[in-house]
Amino acid sequence: MALNDKKIKDLRSGDRVEIKLLIFQVNKGVTNKGAPYLSFQLQDSTGDMDAKYWNVSEAELEAYKPGMICKFKADILLHNNQLQIRIASIEILDQQKEDISDYVRASRYTAQELKYKVQTYIEDLTNPVYRKVVKGLLDACEDDFYIYPAASKNHHNFVGGLATHVLGMLELGKFLCGQYPLLDADLLMSGILMHDIGKIVELSGPVIIEYTTEGKLLGHISIMQAKIYEIARRLEVDQTEEVTLLRHMVLSHHGAYEFGSPVLPMIPEAEILCMVDNIDAKMNTMEKALDRVEPGTFTPRVFAMENRQLYKAKNK
């Protein structure tokens, strides 16, 4: 079987391939008969796919780690209406000879495009307190902001995902401010820009996405509101109502105690922030799930969508 130039997006049921992919996740399992196997999530720049490696030797159980780029001989099959890789063999490649950009998913925007679009919204802020706090925080983490993912797995979990998610929310927020004059546009836009920057501390990086010790112990919500207060004190604006409202936006943006917010939204801008965050995240989650199935079929149950199955219309 010769190495082919197929990417994950090109794979079809019935294909027999030899393909180079990055190991994103690997987990051990045992069959009903007691035989060990490995479950993988494999990816390249076009997407990701679940994989199974049956009849694994004892030595192989510990050989493969997240972040490794390997060559897989495999068959592609359809399992629960979703393509899956059935691995025949694995060869660990020389990692130094591989270009990591071939194996990581990225935003549809370049980092330069994201920066230009986001900076336009920052420049539109007219309230001097919001403008100083937002610029101060983004200046401190600018490089990471434009390459980090927004989450570890459910939505926007790719290079540049955080800024892409924020940009989608900014565009929704701008439209809603035009619909509802009640809203303070500067507060809403500042809250959108700030709400998830704590993910830069919570998550380990843009390629192999894991939770850091701080992320597990503190969470991005508390991390971010503390950073807002810290920079506000340095700018001597910590006693202003604007800073209190901005901290409230971050603390309440998950919208419910059971989802991790210590307070509920108590101002219109916080309610809208929660809503546009949910809209943008769920649309990306649905897009990923539907991209993996054929028109006229259902996805497997999607945990992040209340364990619902999603249907892909035949005309898509």
The residue ranges of the chain whose pLDDT is under 50 are 1-2
Q: How far is CA 69 from the centre of its chain?
A: 21
Residues in the chain: 316
Take residue 154 and report the two structure tokens written for it.
């459910």
Helix axes 241-252, 219-234, angle to 10 degrees: 170
pLDDT tens, position by position, 32-70: 988 999 999 999 998 889 999 998 988 899 999 998 999
* Dist CA 133 CA 135 (whole Å): 6
Q: Pairing relation of β-strands 16-30 and 69-79?
A: antiparallel
- Per-residue model confidence (pLDDT) at position 106: 86
Take residue 221 and report the two structure tokens written for it.
């919500």
pLDDT tens, position by position, 250-298: 999 999 999 999 999 999 999 999 999 999 999 999 998 898 888 999 9
Helix axes 185-194, 268-291, angle to 10 degrees: 50
Could you tell me the domains of the chain?
8-102 (2.40.50.140), 111-288 (1.10.3210)
Measured CA distances, 50 to 47, 81, 85, 183, 194 (Å): 11, 13, 6, 44, 34
Q: What is the CA radius of gyration of the chain?
A: 22
Q: Could you tell me the pTM of the whole model?
A: 0.86
The three-state (H, E, C) secondary structure of 235-297, written as one string: CCCCCCHHHHHHHHHHHHCCCCHHHCCCCCCCCHHHHHHHHHHHHHHHHHHHHHHHHCCCCCC
